[in-house]
Chains A and B, each alone.
Chain A
Amino acid sequence: MSNILIIAEHDCSTLNTSTAKSVSCASQIDGASIAVAVLADDASALAGQAAAIQGVDKVLAISHDANASPMAAIQAPQVAKLAEGHTHVFGPSTTFGKDLMPRVAALLGVNQVSDIMTVNGSHAFERPIYAGNAIVSVEAPTDAVVVATVRTASFKAAADGGTAEIVETTIDAEIPDHTRYVSLQSGQSDRPDLQTAGKVISGGRALASSENFDIIYTLADKMGAAVGASRAAVDAGYVPNEMQVGQTGKIIAPELYIAIGISGAIQHLTGIKDAGTIVAINKDEEAPIFEVADIGLVGDLFNIVPELTQALES
């Protein structure tokens, strides 16, 4: 039987939906028993949230001052201890999980399955490689623990309504002091979260300045959409890095994705493959983004975007 441990991602007050998505991936393994580990300075409230996710059988609440900020070097030895008795340890394929899980895998002496997108069996998975240009079927060894990250855009969050038991747990692991948290600088925004929003509007290099990006924000607010960007727009400093969509930014799966002034480089497309409907607005009718767009409109964004915003007002 599969005894799966999922490492919860959170910001100390709320669980990230990547946790419920990891649960939904784990639930696809037949007869899985699922435990979620919450490591925090005070894990009690978060443990309650984890216990409410459907499909979770048990929540391990690990409260320790060292877990006030998630740092891989500090969490990995704890997770490696928690892994004992489990057949699988899963984390989300977010920057949190990507940082932590390989460190856990190495401590356990196994390789990691990165970015599970499909579950074919307890040890058989599919994952994307080459920026999603190929999908490889992999089989993890059955005589060792499976450490994996879950490609969150491939799974819907498991619903609430569960009532798992919560077990306060202490771990006897050596916690290093060579890694210290300093600060987090995040662009506070009241807009929907890019990774979970149903609608996302992204702007590219064509916006040409951060001031011009305002027309994207105005349209997004009108539609209740989150705002994203291409790497070129981030590199040019028009928007902060956490807005980058793509292979090396966020991989998202909104119902509606509108790409404005974005050419559609493969690295960008990797991030939006799972979107429901893709709309492209670009002045170049040859732009590769039109190859994947469900709805395309050729024209100057500086005319189209304000006109669209106005059309939505009436």
Chain B
Amino acid sequence: MEKILVGLKRVVDYNVRVRVKGDGSGVETDGVKMSINPFDEIALEEALRIRERGEASEVIVLSIGTSESQQQLRTGLAMGADRAILVSTDDTLDPLTRARIFQSVIERESPDLVLLGKQAIDEDNNQTGQMLAAIWGRPQATFASEVTFDGNTAKVTREVDTGLETIEIDLPAVVTADLRLNEPRYVKLPDIMKAKKKPLDEIGLAELGVERPPAIKESAFAPPAVRQKGIMVDDVPGLVSALKDKGLL
């Protein structure tokens, strides 16, 4: 295949303990470490491996967001992507709008495969890939843990609640990465230098003329109910009697 398009979302790093702002207007993101969404890193790693096996010739990374997302695109280029596209906007976008943006980039680039993460760990939506596949009118293979190609079709193993499901899809298609698809490589310093010379195109959101659906309004943010720290027992008999006290044995 020719091209693989990979989505990279800039999100709060997964190691950060996210806190809700005191006034409930959102979560604290000032001065917080930002990274590539971990599932997107896995999606990119998979795309690179497909290219390195000689099954694809170009890997393009796409991010939608403010100019700060250039950082994540540069990391993607350092990992090995060939070029990057930033669709720049200061607006907070909903998944359907993002899917429509992907669709309009697809119309320009005609990729054979779009690899996304299964979900962005900020909003935990788990929607964009499925929505894109719907408006593109193409197959979707979500929660992928293994992908193999045979000509114009792909076999994808999916992590589902009941186990591992395998489906066969025609290309082009959307595949979303689950955690066990692969383990992403580390970026080496020389690669970071090289990445500075790779092309990074910026397209203003307005240029794409994407129609915006009615958004779901987020009216208030609250911290979750906290569980109280309980008791410590000293030994197994202590545990057994504590469980009996609660009527659990």
Which A positions have Cβ atoms within 8 angstroms of B?
11, 71-73, 76, 94-96, 98-107, 109-115, 128-141, 143-144, 176, 178-187, 195, 199, 223, 231, 234-235, 240-242, 247-248, 250, 255-256, 266-267, 273, 277-279, 290-299, 304, 307-308, 311-312
A112-B127, A130-B18, A195-B161 known; A73 and B215 CB under 8 Å? no
Whether B206 sits at the interface, judged by CB under 8 Å, is no
Interface centre among A71, A112, A234, A255 (most CB of B within 10 A): A112
- Measured between beta carbons, the chain A residues less than 8 angstroms from B234 are 297
Chain B residue with the shortest CB-CB distance to A117: B224
If A112-B127, A129-B123, A134-B223 touch, does A103 touch B134 (CB 8 Å cutoff)? yes
Chain A's nearest CB lies how many Å from the CB of B122?
6
Cα A144 to Cα B220 with chains together (Å): 22
Given contacts A195-B161, A279-B239, contact A137 B218 (CB under 8 A): yes
In whole angstroms, what is the CA distance A21 to B118 when docked? 24
B180 within 8 Å of A by Cβ?
yes
Does A130 lie within 8 Å of B143, measured CB to CB?
Answer: no
Contact B166 A183 (CB under 8 A): yes
Q: Check: B108 CB closer than 8 A to any chain A CB.
A: no
Interface hit among B50-58, B63-71, B241-249: B241-249
26 example contacts (A-B, Cβ-Cβ < 8 A) are as follows A72-B142, A95-B143, A98-B142, A99-B143, A102-B128, A110-B213, A114-B125, A132-B224, A133-B18, A133-B20, A134-B20, A137-B218, A138-B217, A178-B173, A181-B167, A182-B168, A183-B165, A185-B166, A235-B179, A242-B161, A255-B248, A292-B227, A295-B233, A297-B233, A298-B232, A299-B235
Q: A11 contacts which chain B residues (CB < 8 A)?
A: 162
Contacts of B169 in A (CB 8 A): 178-180
- B140, A99: Cβ atoms under 8 Å? yes
Chain B: interface secondary structure? mixed
CB closest residue in chain B, given A292: B227
User: Given A178-B170, A308-B236, A184–B162 Cβ distance below 8 Å?
Assistant: yes
Cα(A131)–Cα(B18), bound, Å: 9
The distance from the CB of B143 to the nearest CB of chain A, in whole angstroms, is 6
Closest-CB distance, A78 to chain B (whole angstroms): 13
